[in-house]
Amino acid sequence: MIFNIIGSVLKLVLDIVLLPFRSIPSIWGLLFISMLAGLVMISIFRLASNQKKISRLRKKMLGEIFGILLHVSSPLTVMRFAGRLILSNTLYLLYIIKPLLVIAIPFMLIWGQLDARYGTDIGNQNTPVTVTIEYEDSLPERDNITVIGTGIEIKPPVVMVDTLRQVSFRIIFEEGIIGSLDVNGTSSTMGATGLWNGAIILRGFDGGNALKRLFCPWVGRAALADSGPISGWYSLKAVRYRILGGHRSWLAVFVVFSSVSAIAGAKIFNVKI
């Protein structure tokens, strides 16, 4: 229950933040969220770390480096300073591991949201999408597999893989980018959750595991039936954004611009890293 609430709140917050970017190219919303995430991460690092200890340790490490450079003619002195530097580096890692662990959870939540919103594209209405569904125990007979689509067209053939308990077929979105699928009573929503840029695009479904959907919001929740599949996924096209002289994935854009934003935030707010 709590994971569903957290996921709903996070989705709502990002929907509101991205509201001004709904009608313009998706890259602008991605850039804004990336830079905002960098500032949030550096702020969390500042609050979760002991800035005074890190600052003193960095000065100490700088002194040990100068000690090595000033005594290159004395191997024993160099080794002594090098040993101190190794110990200082170890202590430094211990100082920053706590804030990094604190940052890891919001980073993974943001990563999941951005991947669901900017990672894939349904494409045009003439592009078929492969759907693969999985049954829990064994596959039903081919004649007993009933596939009903709303807003989508089912394209034959239906391919069955008994050893994997999987069935695959293709679909085409008839109108827009939102549809629903019913397979032997198991029903799920397909495609985008909204008709705007930056809306979550579902790439699969299962019947439970709210924690999984919190970190992987592209997995929709299905109403499972006893005779239906327990999970499924769709082969959607990955999006490439034309930026920085090439076609980049959403993750490359996010890493670059969130890092630049975090570095700028550290300089502005005097955060010791």
In the chain, pLDDT over 90 holds for what percent of residues? 55
pTM listed for this prediction: 0.86
- Lay out the sheet containing 147-150: strands in order across: 147-150, 178-183, 186-192, 201-202
Calculate ∠ Cα 5-11-15, nearest 5°: 145
**pLDDT given at position 97:** 93
Between 34 and 235, the higher pLDDT residue: 34
For 109-115, the CB contacts below 8 A with 24+ separation are 109/10, 109/214, 109/215, 110/33, 110/37, 111/254, 112/214, 112/215, 112/216, 112/217, 112/218, 113/10, 113/11, 113/14, 113/200, 113/217, 114/30, 114/33, 114/34, 114/250, 114/254, 115/218, 115/250, 115/251
**pLDDT given at position 127:** 79
Over residues 100-149, the pLDDT tens digits come to 999 999 999 999 999 999 999 876 667 788 999 999 888 888 888 888 88
Residue 80, token pair as written in the block: 């002594």
**pLDDT given at position 252:** 94
Over residues 202-213, the pLDDT tens digits come to 999 988 778 888
Over residues 66-95, the pLDDT tens digits come to 989 888 888 899 999 999 999 999 999 999
Distance CA 232, CA 119 (A): 18
Distance CA 79, CA 63 (A): 14
17 within 8 A of 228, measured Cβ to Cβ: no
Most confident of 161-170, 232-241, 254-263: 254-263
Distance CA 215, CA 111 (A): 8
The confidence band for 175, taking pLDDT boundaries of 50, 70 and 90, is: low
